[in-house]
Amino acid sequence: MLSLITSALRALPALALMAGLSATAAHAQTAEGYWQGVQKAGALRCGAAVAPPYVMRDPATGEYTGFFADLCKEFADVLKVKPEFVDTTWDNIVAGLQAGKWDLSLALNRTPARAMAVQFSIPAMEYQISLAYNKNNPKIAAGVASVADIDKAGVTLAVMSGTAQDKAISAAVKNATIMRLPGNDETRLAVTSKRADILVDASDTNQLFTQSNPDWAVALNPTPALAKQGVAFGLPHQLSAADVEVINIFLEERVATGHVDELIRKAVDEVLKGAK
């Protein structure tokens, strides 16, 4: 009898281990992924800060357009849920995602500082910062090529507050004045009205600005580059690798087939049409 009891006691750790493994396996099989939770909720919440042609919002109807807004709608279709846009600012687009106010952030530049707070999908496109200005502005010499060439006292740079371009230009200039404004319209107006000398923005966004003002506006991609980053969906930090893979596969296919390029062209056409 003693021998039987001793054998049973020796077997307890192994049985406990097996029970633990079984419980873990059962939990893994029943654990719900993030996107399954979104499907149960019935809506994909997309944090949206306006920056044409990435994200645009019709002030009259509240409707969101732009190629990242379109990608949000298409990913919602994949999940078979409704897209729900949550209006935010570039100052709050990371904090809101951290706080769970939405499921993903639109058109977020991939930076190491942001990656410490949130995760990223693969890039939908590459991003570069350019400088747009009036070619007749006497403060800006002909042949400027670098940020150092325009980093002078008396030169004012307009930039959207809290954006990647705000952080990049703030780290690069020492003498010029930085005018931080809440939105794209305000920064463009500052240069158009000559309250600011230079518009610091994404190269494709500044291209729209120069195309809308061909008589006087020009843009420069500085050398060395101010920033060259991927533009992606911002994702909650707690997402599993499997959940991240879902949206990566979604984007991978749309980039590879040229569909994202089509969405970009459509958004650019919309901006240019609105500028006429």
Give the 3-state secondary structure of residue 213. Answer: coil
Domains assigned to the chain = 35-125+230-275 (3.40.190.10), 127-228 (3.40.190.10)
**Tell me: the pLDDT tens digits for 58-67?**
989 999 999 9
**Tell me: the pLDDT tens digits for 82-124?**
999 999 999 999 999 999 999 999 999 998 989 999 999 999 9
pLDDT band at residue 10 using 50, 70 and 90 as cut-offs? very low
H-helix or E-strand spanning residue 131? strand 125-134
At position 237, the amino acid (one-letter code) is H
**Tell me: the pLDDT tens digits for 176-223?**
999 999 988 999 999 999 999 999 999 888 988 998 899 999 999 999
pLDDT above 90 covers a percentage of the chain that reads 74
Backbone torsions φ then ψ of 88, nearest 5 degrees: -150, -175
Question: Among 73-82, 165-174, 204-213, 257-266, where is mean pLDDT lowest?
Answer: 204-213
Is the Cα dihedral 208, 165, 156, 92 positive or negative? positive
Report the mean per-residue pLDDT for the chain. 88
Please tell me what DSSP assigns to residue 202: E
Neighbours of 170 (CB within 10 A): 13
Query: What's the pLDDT score for residue 103?
Result: 98
Neighbours of 105 (CB within 10 A): 30
